[in-house]
Amino acid sequence: MCSGIPGKVAAIDGVKAEIIIGDQHRWYNAIMQPDLAIGDYVLVYADLVVQMITEQEANEMLDIITAMQKMQNEVYQAVTQEESS
């Protein structure tokens, strides 16, 4: 399963959009979203802006991603502790 990552549009230059994800700024191809504006929230995947979303949807997705990362770290720590015992 592949999933997009939510971000916020910081700048637009033709068909490219600078997207902020966390503390990273990166340019993505936005040709699929001609009505994109600075301040919009979007999903990005494989160097493409694939969908516009609401701020609430972006925040909910980021909360889920953060929770998944936390669980992954907890599992990793538990496994490495078991292996060292």
Averages of pLDDT over runs of 10 residues in the chain (85 residues) are 88 97 96 97 96 96 93 90 78
Query: Taking a C-beta distance cutoff of 8 angstroms, is the pair 28, 49 a contact?
Result: yes
pLDDT at residue 82 in the model = 79
pLDDT at residue 1 in the model = 55
Domain ranges of the chain: 5-84
Contacts (Cβ under 8 Å, ≥6 apart) of 54 = 41
Whether the model clears a pTM of 0.85, i.e. scores above it, the answer is: no
Q: Pick one of 1.10.287.990, 2.30.30.140, 3.40.50.150, 3.20.20.370 as the CATH number of 5-84.
A: 2.30.30.140
